[in-house]
Chains A and B, each alone.
Chain A
Amino acid sequence: MTPGFQGRPRSGAPDLPPGQYLTPDFPVLSAGPTPRVPRDQWEFVISTETGTQHRWSWDEMMALPQETPTVDIHCVTRWSKLGTTWRGVSLDTLLDGVDSAADYALAHCYGGYTTNLPLDDLRDGQAWLVHTFDGADLPAEHGGPARLLVPHLYFWKSAKWARGINLTVEDTPGFWETAGYHDYGDPWREQRYQGD
């Protein structure tokens, strides 16, 4: 206990993951400058462990069935934001027809960022490739033109400026995971750093 510390009274605080606090704004956290990717040069590629590639241009991606998830998001730097609304394509839609026995996914991005997830965490309505936030085009600083949205994991797994996903048989730690952050990143189990 630290003598004198009271904390801020939190009456009616919602049920947040441990160690998180609510923020009304939308903080920006990333490791380098913001990449700017024009839509006509954007593409999204899923590559399987055998090297087969599935590609979508911007227009092709937009022609797929779109969903409008409203979800809570939790950043490892401790802010949480509730009830955020996005629009994009379910990863189930993108993975449909992709023939793979892989267990892992490594998301990679314009700008070079990577992050790893178990492939199962991208399935069953748990993940989207989103291009719209709060009814407007996703701004570049928040990962536009398109980013992953995997709200059940810490937000660094929701890779900004998404360019593709490599499906792999073995787990390959990504950018923050190599820099000491947890491999999986479950906010409810407070898996922030390696060893948590």
Chain B
Amino acid sequence: MRWQAARLVDRRVETSTAQTLVLEVPGWPAHLPGQHVDIRLTAPDGYQAARSYSLAAPADGDRIEVTVQRVPEGEVSPFLVDGYREGDPVEVRGPIGGWFVWRTQQTDPVLLVAGGSGVVPLMAMIRARRAAGNRTPFRLIYSVRTPADVFYAEELRRRVRDDAGLDVAYVYTREAPDGWRGEPHRLGLADVNNHGWPPALEPSVYVCGPTGFVEAVSDLLVGLGHPARRVRTERFGPTG
């Protein structure tokens, strides 16, 4: 798999700490929702750094999208969010990953569980479902600190309205919006019971987020009786 030249053609603000980057990668092959790319930056002295980012949407010709959350003190993500300018080159390779993927031919119900920026590959699945006119029942449980931290907020509202068979439930960990039932809390058994699919429906489950979140949620799901091999996980980076 080769490094390919890419350049930034557009960017969208998602939250105060996250932006979607639209990259043009000439000759980009197709990819599946859930796959990621590696992005590599080269400094003037030749120093290089590369990080993985999930593909946020189906490819639009040679254009791909990633959504990058600024990690305080990070080496790569603050640059991509704050310093990287339209037209400037980076290198990209991918698509990578063949396990944490949803295929539009799948017919089993889908449960998506996102923690923070872990929503990115799951949004790619929601968008691919829409693009394919697929009617598979989808549920997304999205754990997020505050309403202002929700990625793709406006589009998710629209999709829930327009895409039949898609439900989205939010769990707020720090600050809930007015009118939300309940207190801010970490995603727990009741949330999964209320907003997920029971194991008897044999859903495909995709869990993505920080490592601790994925550990906790996948343990919960297995405890509820979901067979471990139906629970696919993607852990974004370091412990904690």
Which residues of chain A have a CB within 8 Å of any CB of chain B? 1-8, 10, 19, 21, 23, 25-35, 77-79, 111-112, 141, 175-176, 178-180, 193-196
Contact = CB atoms under 8 A, between A and B. Distances in A.
Interface in B186-240: 211, 215, 218-219, 221-222, 228-229, 231-233, 235, 237-240
Contact of A32 (B41, B97, B218): B218
B49 A7 contact: yes
A28 B213 CA distance: 11
**The 9 nearest A-B residue pairs measured at CB:** A33-B218, A179-B98, A5-B41, A7-B47, A27-B238, A193-B1, A8-B75, A7-B43, A2-B41
Interface of B: 1, 41-44, 47-52, 75, 79, 83-85, 88-90, 93, 96-100, 211, 215, 218-219, 221-222, 228-229, 231-233, 235, 237-240
Contact of B219 (A1, A5, A33): A33
Main secondary structure, interface of B, reads mixed
B42 A27 contact: no
A4 B85 contact: yes
A27 B237 contact: yes
Contacts of A180: 1, 96-98
Main secondary structure, interface of A, reads loop
B32 to A, nearest CB: 11
21 contacts: A1-B44, A2-B42, A2-B89, A4-B79, A5-B49, A5-B83, A19-B48, A27-B238, A28-B215, A29-B211, A30-B235, A32-B218, A34-B219, A77-B52, A77-B237, A78-B50, A79-B238, A111-B228, A193-B1, A193-B93, A195-B1
